[in-house]
Amino acid sequence: MPRVLAMGDIHGCATALRLLLEALRLQPDDTLITLGDYIDRGPDSASAVQQLLELARTCRLIALRGNHEEMLFDALRSGVACSLWLQCGGQATLAAYGADHDMPRLPDAHLQFLQSTLPMYETPTHFFVHANYEPHLPLDAQPAEVLLWRSLRDVIPAPHVSGKIAVVGHTPQPSGSVLNLGYLKCLDTGCCYGGWLTAIDVATGAAWQANQRGELRTIPPLLAGG
């Protein structure tokens, strides 16, 4: 039976991404929703984006946009590697694409992939955004600033009026475990800070985690908060 899976913030952690994708054993009918922040902080953003490009040929990949992609676009539009982006891990992306302080020239396929990312995605039971949401607003009327930037450390939202379960990233969980509030799950488990890259099966709650040290673990639904 086709699966719907979601994956948290990758942040250039190409080793963890490779291990996790191998563990998921994705099939052509499976859908994988990636929650944004593919670049910055981690050591190999270029390799991470390339893996996602290849993955899009083997399963149904729904790639959402994160605030780090938005910062890259701002820098590319201005032609200057802005200080905010560099302070937020952009220097690692410059290095991964062979640049120093000048803006990198991303391969066309990489840039097109990042530019094609979506603000949100929804299924009959869940909705997926990078960062956060306004609980009282329809999903098609959510402010971009909230979707991309608002941390759960600042605002824990109430359940959404649609009754759907929210799946988000953006706010690293220092415990390395999925934050599960029942109506909201946060899958950013801090891979780029030495934690884990997490993917969950949306229907069962089963979870898989990999890290940059080459470790892999599977978490049963009850322990993952399914």
- State the DSSP code for 139: G
Question: Are residues 9 and 37 in contact, defined by beta-carbon separation less than 8 angstroms?
Answer: yes
Question: Are residues 152 and 171 in contact, defined by beta-carbon separation less than 8 angstroms?
Answer: yes
Question: Are residues 56 and 28 in contact, defined by beta-carbon separation less than 8 angstroms?
Answer: no
Burial 71-88 (b: 16+ CB within 10 A, else e): bbeebbeeeebeeebbee
Report the relative pairing of strands 126-129 and 120-122 from DSSP bridges.
Answer: antiparallel
Question: Are residues 171 and 153 in contact, defined by beta-carbon separation less than 8 angstroms?
Answer: yes
Question: Are residues 168 and 180 in contact, defined by beta-carbon separation less than 8 angstroms?
Answer: no
Q: Dihedrals φ, ψ of 140, to 5°?
A: -85, 5
Which active-site residues does the annotation give? 68
